[in-house]
Structure 1
Amino acid sequence: MIVIQAKLISLNQEDKQTVLDLMRRWSSCMRFAYNRLLEGEKRADLKRKLPQVFNLNSRYVDDAIMKARSTLESAKELGKSPRKVIFGGKKLFRKLQKHHLNGKAYEKLKIRWQEKRKGNLYSRGDKSKKGNLNTRIEVRKNGTFLRINVGERKYVYARIEAGYKKNKRREELLQEIAESNIPYSVELKLKNGNIYAYFAIEEKYPEIKITKEKGVIGIDINAYPDNISWTEVDEKGNLISYGNIPMPELVSGSKDKKEYFRWHYAHEIVKIAKEKGKAIVIEKLDIKEKGKKGDFSGRKSRRIRHNFSYKSLLSKIKTLAKREGIEVIEVDPSYTSIIGMLKYSPQYMITKDIAAAYVIARRGLGLQEKIPDNYMKFLNALTVEELEELKEYVKKTVRNKKLKKKHLKEIKKAIEFLQSLGSEPERVLKPLDGTSFSAHDFWRVLKVAVVTPLSPEKVPRDFSTLKGLLIQGKWRDP
């Protein structure tokens, strides 16, 4: 999606008020549609009755319903209550409720909130109508204009100011869009008394030329330390090279600064993939609001969302890769860190973050991770007494507040798993036969049994001590 921002100018006072009234009615229609969708009303019923209520044509109404549905679905995806959505911005609304400002400062804040609440209009593009019927770009001798349908076959023409003299490319691009008759969407927003237009068109990407045929680049983005870990693997899944890209600029700073550096780091990743001629494999994450749902929870989820907008960075990597004709593969991120730290970190003497990127790369090639035999033999050798001792050790650590309670649940599940296998000599060599546990559950068992005694307070970053157990099968050495 390509978005071009422009300012609407050369509007006389009467025309500006007409456009503002249209934006106010459209915003009211969108909020009304949102509340009716919450109550279970159908789109077709709303589209039939709302044009008369808000004096809007059917296209404007349909776009308002679409925006309302999008807001509703977004709230659900983020784990928010759809009934608590505040149009105009929750943050501004909470500030107004506090009444900590008086006079001009309070009025200025109130105007900002009202502009965000009432100063909106969205119009979708339509290929059959050669671009956009309600808000159309028109090129004239004296400049580029936006023709806005304000109702009853009446139009307001506003000149588009899309760039300064030294940067006229945006206005030239808008003229090219108008002359090509391709569909484009227009969104109007009121800010500080001025009306801004945002033109959006679907970007056409070149044909994919760099695929996973010659291997891939696996990407793991870490909240602590703030960096991108990457690994290069061949088509068979063998590790070739790896590296880390620190991202200190994304820890703090303004929104614009973080956005700039997100693009910067996305360019670095795509540059690596292009130079090596390999596809990119990334995690497909759905991080929920407040850390209550999703792939991560609590502090890690909040840090990822607030410090460097994890999903935004991944989205930029996908966009830039597509522009370069590089295939992007998204994989399930479940247990990539656990598998990496237990299997590949001690084997290759690499950090758990690099190891996680390696697992992601292999998963992108469709490879499965076999549990090492020596780990199976280690679990098979654990006696019931040792398991109970480990369980009591974890309980004591939890009481001392050195471990979170979730670790106690993990160790209980590990013990339940091993005890469910019976007492045959070869019980762990086929650990999943006849049980309700998945392969991922078994990796969790390994993490609890191996990592917890090694470092009870937190997951270590150095797993070199596991090399003897993994490679040589040494697990009785104190």
Structure 2
Amino acid sequence: MRKQSFAIRTAYNMLKELEKEKTRNPHAQIYHRLRQLFSDLPTKHIDSAIYKAKQYTTDKSGVFGGKGLFEKLCKNHLTGKAREKLKKQWRELRQGTLIAMGSKHKTAQGNLLLRFMELDGKLHLRITTENREFICAKVLREPSNSKDNWLTFMAMLLESWQTQSYFPYTVELKLRNGPTPEVKYTKKNGVIAIDTNSSPIHLAVAKVSKAGELASYQTISLHHLIGLSQNNKDHQEWILAHKIANLAIQKGKAIAVENLRKLKRGMYGDGKAKLRKRLHHWNAKKFLQKLKRIAMLKGVEIVEVNPVYTPVIGILKYTPQLNIDKDMASAYVIGKRALGFREDTPKNYERLLKEKEYLEFAVGKYEDREKGLKELIEKETNLKRELKEVENAKKLLTNLIQSLQSEPSGCEGANGRNPTWQVLKVALLFPILGKVLPRDLSPLKPVLMEGVWDRVRSRLVPLEAGGVSR
């Protein structure tokens, strides 16, 4: 329905343009273009899309989905469930059409793709799907009165079955209040956790057992999407969404993803020019929408989790502990959070936040970095943002040193949120590894497992702004 509805809208727009140009035989040009865009649609559905598009008048602008509903959606007074309900109705009208023209050919028996047939003494509609498979849906249509044309059609259809002298008839299906398929694959058996990444563009896929253990993992590169047209990119994303949903079905698990709507503006890269450029090549939110749609249709449960601190927890806790990369560790955290597991901060990390000697060492690292940035900032103005981050980190750790005499409960924020993970990120990554997001996180392992950090103080650590620190 969605593909053919898109084909109908495309055919309609092309028809308007070709009529302005007074092109001869526009049907052939439209058919050739739709064949390129929708190569997986049957030929009859392409012809039927053009047939449906010709039924609309082209002298005025058309609004597929209903002009009245569209105008209501454009108003700002509707919010929440009321707006979502109206939006669902509009999408059903816009995307919920499937039409197949009748055929005189004997093998088509009146209609090749949407054919009425008798099954167990009841009237059914045989719907052709992908891979030449069929769905037989029971027809519940009843005549409204004795003059209803449905009675005449049924009489003609019955006679054609008996005489095998078939006549062509066109069938059009409309989606109305489409039911949600039954969820068969839930998180009771674990989840397939997905972490979307833009640098480089790829998916980190972690299979997490119901006990919260990392069973296996894999990386799916999306580099091949760069440079594709939007239509081809959408097509590849739909294929990928099917593959992930099928993987979840094969493993009998639900799918866990980030709820990107929970992220504040700027936290997903839209505040940085380089990441904005990468996000132009691939939009994670749109892909997750496709994945959720396919999962729903296949009966796979989708569990959306708040992504706050998932990368930080993965970097600090599971990357050094399990020897996996930071993106895979983040996917693992998403999976555990979807299953309801709580992530406690490691005791050795907590101990460092209470150790004045270490905190003074960390502040010293940030002071060295701050000094180096101030020396370079006159030549490279793009370092102002990093300088601000370094100053904030130094202030945070300085305040932590001053509050060591007070109770540690002062770390808890509003609504019971515990920002310890963010504090640990500031206190550990740059002071120990020399970078905010380094590739090699293995030096964190002795700190995590044994609480050993003294060896860091004795070795030379390169600083990005130039020079070294002891």
**C-alpha separation in 2, matches of 1:420 and 1:201:** 64
How far does residue 4 in structure 1 lie from its aligned partner after superposition? 2.4
Aligned residue in 1 for 2:419: 441
Corresponding position: 1:336 with 2:314 = no
**C-alpha separation in 2, matches of 1:198 and 1:398:** 65
Which of these residues, 397, 402, 411, is aligned with residue 415 of structure 1? 397
**1:373 to 1:140, Cα distance in 2 relative to 1, 3 A:** closer
Aligned residue in 1 for 2:68: 62
Q: Radius of gyration: which is bigger?
A: 2
Aligned 1:262-301 pairs, distance under 5 A: 262-286=237-261, 293=266, 295-296=268-269, 297-299=271-273
Partner SS, residue 280 of structure 1: strand
Corresponding position: 1:452 with 2:434 = no
How far does residue 463 in structure 1 lie from its aligned partner after superposition? 1.1
Aligned 1:114-129 pairs, distance under 5 A: none
Aligned residue in 2 for 1:206: 181
CA deviation vs aligned residue, 1:279-311 (integer Å, no higher than 9, x gap): 1100011399xx954544323652453121211
The answer to whether the 8 Å contact 1:63/1:123 transfers is: no
**C-alpha separation in 1, matches of 2:315 and 2:179:** 40
How far does residue 21 in structure 1 lie from its aligned partner after superposition? 4.6
The answer to whether the 8 Å contact 1:398/1:408 transfers is: no
Aligned 1:63-462 pairs, distance under 5 A: 63-69=69-75, 169=113, 203-286=178-261, 293=266, 295-296=268-269, 297-299=271-273, 302-303=276-277, 305-383=279-357, 385-399=360-374, 400=376, 404-415=386-397, 417-419=399-401, 421-423=403-405, 428=408, 432=411, 439-462=417-440
Look up the equivalent residue of 1:332 and give its one-letter code: N
**C-alpha separation in 2, matches of 1:67 and 1:466:** 52
Aligned residue in 1 for 2:132: none
CA deviation vs aligned residue, 1:235-291 (integer Å, no higher than 9, x gap): 221221111111121222222221122122222222221111111100011399xx9
**1:457 to 1:468, Cα distance in 2 relative to 1, 3 A:** closer
The answer to whether the 8 Å contact 1:287/1:293 transfers is: no
CA deviation vs aligned residue, 1:54-75 (integer Å, no higher than 9, x gap): xxxxx966324224238999xx
How far does residue 421 in structure 1 lie from its aligned partner after superposition? 3.0
Corresponding position: 1:473 with 2:451 = yes
**C-alpha separation in 2, matches of 1:245 and 1:325:** 23
Partner SS, residue 392 of structure 1: helix
Partner SS, residue 419 of structure 1: helix
CA deviation vs aligned residue, 1:129-150 (integer Å, no higher than 9, x gap): xx98xx999999799xxxxxxx
Aligned residue in 2 for 1:19: 57
CA deviation vs aligned residue, 1:52-107 (integer Å, no higher than 9, x gap): xxxxxxx966324224238999xxxxxxxxxxxxxxxxxxxxxxxxxxxxxxxxxx
Look up the equivalent residue of 1:423 and give its one-letter code: Q
**1:284 to 1:298, Cα distance in 2 relative to 1, 3 A:** same
Partner SS, residue 366 of structure 1: coil
How far does residue 373 in structure 1 lie from its aligned partner after superposition? 0.5
**1:170 to 1:265, Cα distance in 2 relative to 1, 3 A:** farther
**1:240 to 1:438, Cα distance in 2 relative to 1, 3 A:** same
Partner SS, residue 321 of structure 1: helix
**C-alpha separation in 1, matches of 2:55 and 2:182:** 47
Identity %: 29
The answer to whether the 8 Å contact 2:315/2:441 transfers is: yes
CA deviation vs aligned residue, 1:406-433 (integer Å, no higher than 9, x gap): 5225414532551353326xx55x5636
**C-alpha separation in 1, matches of 2:288 and 2:227:** 19
The answer to whether the 8 Å contact 2:313/2:330 transfers is: yes
The answer to whether the 8 Å contact 2:205/2:217 transfers is: yes
Partner SS, residue 206 of structure 1: coil
The answer to whether the 8 Å contact 1:281/1:360 transfers is: yes
**C-alpha separation in 1, matches of 2:401 and 2:88:** 62
- Report how many residues are paired: 346
The answer to whether the 8 Å contact 2:245/2:295 transfers is: yes
RMSD value, Cα? 4.6
Partner SS, residue 463 of structure 1: coil
Partner SS, residue 369 of structure 1: coil
